[in-house]
Amino acid sequence: MAMEVPSSTAPTRLARLFEPRGIAIAGASGDPTRAGGQALRALGAHGYRGGIFPVNPRYPELAGHRCHPDLASIDGECDLAVVALPAAQVPGIIRQCGRRGIPFAVVLGGGFREAGPEGARLEQDMLEAAHAHAVRIVGPNCLGLVNVHAGVYAAFGSITREPRLAAGGVSAVLQSGGFGNALVRQCAQAGVGFRHVVTTGNEADLTAAELIDAFVEDAQTRVILAYLEGVADGRTLMAAGRRALAAGKPVLVLKAGNTDQGRRAAASHTANLTGHYDVYRAAFRQCGMIEVGDIHEAADFALVLSAGRFPEGRNVALMGGSGGSAAVFADTADQVGLSIAPFVAETTAELEAALPPLASCGNPVDYGPGFPSPSSVQGYTRACKALLADPGIHQLGLLVASAGPGQVQLAAGELAQILPGTTKPVLAFSAMTDEPVPAGLAMLRQAGVPVLPSPRRVARAMAMLATYAEARTRASGAGWSAQGLYPTVVQPPIPPDALAALPRGPATLDEHAGKALLSSTGIPVSADVLLPIGSTGVDGLRYPVAVKIVSPDIAHKTEVGGVKLHVADAGQLAAAIREVTANARRARPAARLDGVLVSEMVTGVETIVGVVNDPGFGPVVAFGIGGIFAEAVDDMAFRVAPFGVDEARAMIGELRMRALFDGLRGQPPCSTEAIAAVLVQVSALAWQLRARLSELDINPLIAGPVHAVAADALVVLR
Amino acid sequence: MAMEVPSSTAPTRLARLFEPRGIAIAGASGDPTRAGGQALRALGAHGYRGGIFPVNPRYPELAGHRCHPDLASIDGECDLAVVALPAAQVPGIIRQCGRRGIPFAVVLGGGFREAGPEGARLEQDMLEAAHAHAVRIVGPNCLGLVNVHAGVYAAFGSITREPRLAAGGVSAVLQSGGFGNALVRQCAQAGVGFRHVVTTGNEADLTAAELIDAFVEDAQTRVILAYLEGVADGRTLMAAGRRALAAGKPVLVLKAGNTDQGRRAAASHTANLTGHYDVYRAAFRQCGMIEVGDIHEAADFALVLSAGRFPEGRNVALMGGSGGSAAVFADTADQVGLSIAPFVAETTAELEAALPPLASCGNPVDYGPGFPSPSSVQGYTRACKALLADPGIHQLGLLVASAGPGQVQLAAGELAQILPGTTKPVLAFSAMTDEPVPAGLAMLRQAGVPVLPSPRRVARAMAMLATYAEARTRASGAGWSAQGLYPTVVQPPIPPDALAALPRGPATLDEHAGKALLSSTGIPVSADVLLPIGSTGVDGLRYPVAVKIVSPDIAHKTEVGGVKLHVADAGQLAAAIREVTANARRARPAARLDGVLVSEMVTGVETIVGVVNDPGFGPVVAFGIGGIFAEAVDDMAFRVAPFGVDEARAMIGELRMRALFDGLRGQPPCSTEAIAAVLVQVSALAWQLRARLSELDINPLIAGPVHAVAADALVVLR
């Protein structure tokens, strides 16, 4: 079977959606409490320079513009219709768009899928009209879209209100209007400038993934911000994420609907599927999307990413006059995997020469109070340069803390000179965001130094930069298809003969057949012999062995007494065969018994590898430690299949119990490379069989010092 | 042995420190770059109304005040000396304070313990002078103290700079000047008003714990904020925390120096001991202190606690027009143990009558766009009242999100009427902290509704309120000594005869003696018989049994082959005795062998109970699951001894693997009450023996369906 190329949307061509030459407002109104009134007013208020065409047969004129009875009467160039009409009129207006040659519509109002069966029918009618006339739709049930740079406010409600957003390089796609606008406003208050802001509502046509794609293509978008509750097609989202990663445009995601209560709350307000959060997290990681925990973290990260500097490692230098801030930073650094690394000797010597006599010149550097002053500022410059020149340092954190305006302005002036000479990120912590310090802080920001209001938040932002830089490095080494949907380097691992041997139609492969399938892809399996029912044994085995009943009707053999482990010799073997057969007959009298499998016992750490078919993401590989203890802590790692060895290694590293692989209490360490190789191969197998595989379980995969061996397997085909 | 009453500091009498009738500035200066200049200027600038007495023999007058050659020359009432002099002059000035009858000094400068041996000697001299003359000292090596209400700025540096702190009910103790001031400034920017702010520097005399005590006694302090790196006497800190809890004054703690890198950074800037973070966390919990993760959380919590409303449970109602905000809230609610609970029927009926037709009247309540308006505001009021009247709802969250100023002001006006009629907390989320909405937000705050800028932060604050209210309830039921140092209800559990039987001086009790000690306190132990070396067995045993070598020289018996488990009958017993004896002789030829212990095997979940002697907190009990898997995840809970059954239950609940006690995979569930009883008794034993106990290990404590049985014990006395 050759690797299939999955269908994909064509590259988005949404430029006219964001830069329309003219905008019609269907349902325009003079009433500022109505959507059609707010949209009309917002277009006028924000300096949009294209044509504004109110459409409403009841008025000859609105807000100084000629009002049109219908879309057909518009005589200027018009690329976008803002639809502020009751749901029942929307399918008709979309048809009008098509006939008038208006390629885009933003449908603001609700009353569609989210409102029940009648609304769902209207949404379907609207979509059919859109498809028939090649009209692309944002919404319905949304606040609309904004192009801040061009003053395009195809929107109503809170998103159109003062204060006006500052223009900048961040474009946002938001699966909630109210919360999404709150997110954007908070970021703006922190100093983030925006390019496009799109609320997607029901996503009947244009999806979050397509809009991310459009932002990737938009030259003036540098950072992408997404609020997501769920997506119907996870692979398309990942593909958009990968393209953004390749283009060097970081994607920040705030994801909701991740817990039982969160899913219930999300389901009650939109029709978005939320799916399994572990799978989303894995998907975000795999395509380099950056998850943020809260609004202020989105703002922090957007500011820091907008500076456009990325580190080449996880070592940071700290300098400041506040030892407490360094301690607070360091705790977070420890948690997020940053290292406050030692300096090379040259750096320390420079610091000792540059800083005041009582300064502490290790990392973190503490120069004490009253520094820099106008007379000592050259020392400050010299110290900054030394830290940035240290080959073992990848980022610099300046702990300004509560230093006064004089010191901050002095430092900012110097840093403006220093930063062009380095590509390393420089971040600052200052708590003094009230006047009169902000003049200095603004200078720092101007110089390319993002300023955040806590040392912990500086540490988290630095860790985010390092992790994102790692994802970029990984991505540049991986070969992905043009659509970013699958890695081109994955070879279908099941050879043709093994593929041909699979049963047609729904089937459950027993352990013997399941292990044969795994073995055909190169995954080590425990040696076994399938004996007929009634057999008393077999020669040539290496004891101890495991004895298991084989039946297509018994998926969980242990539960029926169908497994005997640690069988030590030929005598015990005969007894064990009798026992598992009798137990199976007693527990499941109707089951077909195909034989008894005798397999060599493998020793090592018991792990579990599984494949599940996620409704949004398709085949997903799960990996964890076996046994009751791991079950008790729910210690599993997930990745969307297929993936390479880097991701497999990262899965192993995510397990809380990973120390078991190091060989605790005198056990030999396990080969995590052998485990990783199995995970990669399982992911490739799952991708190859994605049209047929319902479930695959390797339980256990025994991890030993050299190999990782599948000691049992269950494969369910559909 | 009778229960000892530990020595304790007398109740603090620091009123004159915070409200001095006059302040001397030793080392006063006209130079605003010097500490003595800044302190003098700050006192003048912030409206301090007492006497200001510059002391410097070089000037006749400073800043309009007569300048004194020495402290003795001051003729007005003077309760506080601000010392801005080189370290070498400080012991002398403290003696001058004593002679002049000045009871308090704030020593600003460094050059003491933190600067090396010579500084440590000066600090000792200073302390001896202080003790001899009954002078209490803040510092040295600090930014000083501030009483915002009275304009007392006995301080220099960033803490004295504009903008001025607003007066309010939060008092802060800060173990770092720069970071501490940053923390206070950020809280102030969020709207927190302050009472006292004290930076403690080296804490040579007055400690953070004593200052917390002073804040508890201060009528105008309502909330206490602490930045801590470490304390030398953890019990005193806990006692202060308990008194604060009893007084209804919440203590917020931001703790640093919790990780390897954090401890290194903290050690490099102060002499504070940081100790084991797990123990600090346990101690904070046990005395109801509220740990905050970051600066903004301190600000959030201070605002919310200042409102003075506390819930009676963990159920919350949400209402707003932003479904996305509810989803974001709900995810965090899930993580922090809040329940978005169903309403009683009356509430739902009221909501349906009060809210717009399309409103979603379950929890979370979503009233859709455009509500409330001036014409519908009565419905809003009715809905709020219904939610607050619901008996199953303990707090109300209003998801204002990005609603406009009109709606916010309408809501605020109504809430100002409603809140006096309920004791339940009401919190709001609004992202619109820029103009023009803040007029409405200020009204909300005025009405007693704290406003936070993210739904997640509202959820965390609500969970904090619930947890704090639970701690208050627990505390009101527990009997604590007047000093809050130990629970009065703990009876010394070791009976006099067992206590008398303990060896004098350093000793390691073997399993037999250790279990006898435990058993004397009522802790169930496995039945055992101690056989002499060379014995071949004993009658009357219930098999299977465990066989273990007994030697004062072999602490870890398994490692020398000194343990045989699952010994099934008399024949195996004789062989096992021979084997463990031979193994021990071979591994440790010099060890004294006292016999062989034969004990009944107990089945159940293996757990570990330990007691460690923490340098700052004394005896601490640790509890975890036994075995290699638990070791791999580091799954342990800690509590400072002694404690009651509530804390013991909470320890069990903290384990990640606690599901093991529920009886996974058909195992019978374990009695967690039996485990809790053992933990309580171990904690009482550890407290009773605190002067002698170096280490105690029950490994394993076997948890079964009815009992938890100590199957081995190691006790090390000093």
Whether residue B345 is found in the same domain as residue B471: yes
A335-385: per-residue pLDDT in tens? 999 999 999 999 999 999 999 988 999 999 999 888 999 999 999 999 999
Q: Is the pLDDT of residue A56 over 70?
A: yes
Whether residue B348 is found in the same domain as residue B441: yes
Within its chain, how far is the Cα of B73 from the centroid? 45
* pLDDT, average across residues A154-179: 93
Interface contact B112, partner A, CB < 8 A: no
* pLDDT, average across residues A123-147: 96
> How wide is the angle at C-alpha A650 spanned by C-alphas A174 and A290, nearest 5°?
20
Q: Which residues pair with B194 in a beta bridge?
A: B170
Interface contact A558, partner B, CB < 8 A: no
Residue A519 maps to a domain: no
Q: Is the pTM of this model over 0.80?
A: yes
CA distance B664 to chain A (A): 7
Whether residue B221 is found in the same domain as residue B272: yes
pLDDT tier at B512, thresholds 50, 70, 90: confident
> How wide is the angle at C-alpha B556 spanned by C-alphas B553 and B557, nearest 5°?
85
Q: Is the pLDDT of residue B666 over 80?
A: no
* pLDDT, average across residues B429-446: 77
Q: Under a CB-based contact definition with an 8 Å cutoff, are residues A138 and A145 in contact? A: yes
- Domain of residue B419 covers 307-476
Q: Is the pLDDT of residue A274 over 80?
A: no
CATH number of domain containing B356? 3.40.50.261
The residue that leads in pLDDT, A705 or A264, is: A705
Whether residue A171 is found in the same domain as residue A133: no
* pLDDT, average across residues A132-142: 96
Token pair for B16: 């004159």
Residue A497 maps to a domain: no
Residue B399 maps to a domain: yes
pLDDT tier at A703, thresholds 50, 70, 90: very high
Residue B171 maps to a domain: yes
Interface contact flag, B294 A630, Cβ < 8 Å: no
Residue A54 maps to a domain: yes
**What does the pLDDT read at residue A315?**
98
Interface contact A326, partner B, CB < 8 A: yes
Nearest to B340 among A265, A326, A659 (CB): A265
CA distance A211 to chain B (A): 19
Token pair for B619: 């005896």
* pLDDT, average across residues B594-615: 91
**What does the pLDDT read at residue A464?**
98
Q: Is the pLDDT of residue B632 over 80?
A: no
* pLDDT, average across residues A115-119: 91
Residue B489 maps to a domain: no
Q: Is the pLDDT of residue A117 over 90?
A: yes
A628: chain B residues, CB-CB within 8 Å: 660, 664-665
Interface contact B435, partner A, CB < 8 A: yes
Interface contact B84, partner A, CB < 8 A: no
Residue B223 maps to a domain: yes
Q: Which residues pair with A355 in a beta bridge?
A: none
Q: Nearest CA to B289 among B344, B359, B237, B364?
A: B237
Q: Is the pLDDT of residue B303 over 50?
A: yes
Q: Under a CB-based contact definition with an 8 Å cutoff, are residues B429 and B459 in contact? A: no
Percentage above 90 pLDDT, chain B: 74
Whether residue A460 is found in the same domain as residue A340: yes
Interface contact flag, A339 B630, Cβ < 8 Å: no
Which strand (E) or helix (H) includes residue A418? helix A405-418
Q: Return the beta strands (E) in A143-199 as ranges.
A: 144-147, 152-155, 167-174, 194-199
Nearest to A179 among B182, B322, B457 (CB): B322
Interface contact A325, partner B, CB < 8 A: yes
pLDDT tier at A10, thresholds 50, 70, 90: very low
Interface contact flag, A453 B330, Cβ < 8 Å: no
Residue of B nearest to A373 (CA): B33
Bond before A700 cis per omega within 30 degrees: yes
* pLDDT, average across residues B636-644: 93
**What does the pLDDT read at residue A634?**
79
Averaged pLDDT of chain A:
91
Other Cβ atoms within 10 Å of B423 Cβ, number: 12
Contacts of B226 (CB under 8 A, 6+ apart): B172, B173, B174, B175, B208, B212, B251, B252, B253, B254, B289
d(CA A36, CA A30): 8
Whether residue A116 is found in the same domain as residue A258: no
A482-510: per-residue pLDDT in tens? 555 555 556 789 999 999 999 999 999 98
Which strand (E) or helix (H) includes residue A44? helix A35-45
Interface contact flag, A433 B176, Cβ < 8 Å: no
Percentage above 70 pLDDT, chain A: 94
Whether residue A620 is found in the same domain as residue A591: no
Interface contact flag, A163 B434, Cβ < 8 Å: yes
Nearest to B326 among A115, A269, A324 (CB): A269
* pLDDT, average across residues B319-342: 95
- CA separation, residue B549 to residues A190, B573, B581, B586, B714 (Å): 68, 13, 6, 13, 13
Nearest to A294 among B189, B436, B454 (CB): B454
Whether residue B268 is found in the same domain as residue B416: no
**What does the pLDDT read at residue B100?**
96
Interface contact B269, partner A, CB < 8 A: yes
Boundary (domain end) residue, out of A558, A579, A600: A600
Averaged pLDDT of chain B:
91
Stretch 576-615 of chain B: residues touching chain A, C-beta under 8 Å: none
**What does the pLDDT read at residue B2?**
35
* pLDDT, average across residues A73-87: 96
Whether residue B55 is found in the same domain as residue B95: yes
CA distance B481 to chain A (A): 34
Bond before A544 cis per omega within 30 degrees: yes
- CA separation, residue B23 to residues A126, B40, B54, B108, B454 (Å): 78, 10, 8, 14, 44
Residue type, B352: E
Other Cβ atoms within 10 Å of B381 Cβ, number: 18
Q: How many CB pairs under 8 A join A and B?
A: 305
Tell me the backbone φ, ψ of residue A104, rounded to 5 degrees: -135, 145
**What does the pLDDT read at residue A536?**
83
- CA separation, residue A681 to residues A258, A403, A519, A612, A675 (Å): 29, 55, 10, 15, 10
Q: Is the pLDDT of residue B269 over 80?
A: no
Q: How does strand B223-228 pair with strand B152-155?
A: unpaired
CATH number of domain containing A584? 3.30.1490.20
CA distance A540 to chain B (A): 32
**What does the pLDDT read at residue A275?**
62
Residue B320 maps to a domain: yes
Which strand (E) or helix (H) includes residue B701? strand B693-703
A382-415: per-residue pLDDT in tens? 999 999 999 999 999 999 988 888 888 899 999 9
CATH number of domain containing B623? 3.30.470.20
> How wide is the angle at C-alpha B168 spanned by C-alphas B162 and B174, nearest 5°?
70
- Return the minimum-mean-pLDDT range out of A144-148, A656-660, B553-557: B553-557
Boundary (domain end) residue, out of A600, A617, A637: A600
Which strand (E) or helix (H) includes residue A189? helix A177-189
Contacts of B461 (CB under 8 A, 6+ apart): B300, B301, B304, B427, B450, B452
d(CA A128, CA A653): 48
Whether residue B452 is found in the same domain as residue B315: yes
Q: Is the pLDDT of residue A161 over 90?
A: no
B632: chain A residues, CB-CB within 8 Å: 656-660, 664
Interface contact flag, B256 A321, Cβ < 8 Å: no
**What does the pLDDT read at residue B441?**
83
Other Cβ atoms within 10 Å of B559 Cβ, number: 12
Q: What's the domain count of chain A?
A: 5
Interface contact B157, partner A, CB < 8 A: yes
Whether residue B335 is found in the same domain as residue B284: no
Token pair for B306: 């200042």
Token pair for B691: 């002067």
State the angle between helix axes of A455-477 and A323-336 in degrees (0 to 180), rounded to the nearest 10. Answer: 30
Token pair for A277: 């959060």
**What does the pLDDT read at residue A478?**
58
- CA separation, residue B177 to residues A206, A355, B156, B180 (Å): 53, 21, 10, 5
Boundary (domain end) residue, out of A270, A293, A316: A293
Contacts of B614 (CB under 8 A, 6+ apart): B234, B275, B276, B279, B620, B640
Token pair for A473: 């490095």
d(CA A121, CA B579): 81
Helices marked H in B665-707 — which ranges? 672-688
Q: Nearest CA to B178 among A328, A330, A413?
A: A328
Q: Is B528 helix (H, G, I), strand (E, B) or coil?
A: strand
B220-231: per-residue pLDDT in tens? 999 999 999 999
B630: chain A residues, CB-CB within 8 Å: 629
d(CA A137, CA A26): 14
Q: Under a CB-based contact definition with an 8 Å cutoff, are residues B623 and B679 in contact? A: yes
Whether residue B470 is found in the same domain as residue B333: yes
String of DSSP letters for B563-606 = EEEEE-SHHHHHHHHHHHHHHHHHH-TTPPP-EEEEEE---SEE
- Farthest CA pair distance, chain A: 100
Task: Starting at the earlier edge strand, list the strands of the sheet with A194-199.
Answer: A152-155, A144-147, A194-199, A167-174, A223-228, A251-255, A290-291
- Which range, A259-268, A541-550, B204-213, B404-413, has the best average confidence (pLDDT)? B204-213
Interface test with B, best of A633, A656, A662, A664 (most B CBs within 10 A): A633
**What does the pLDDT read at residue A337?**
96
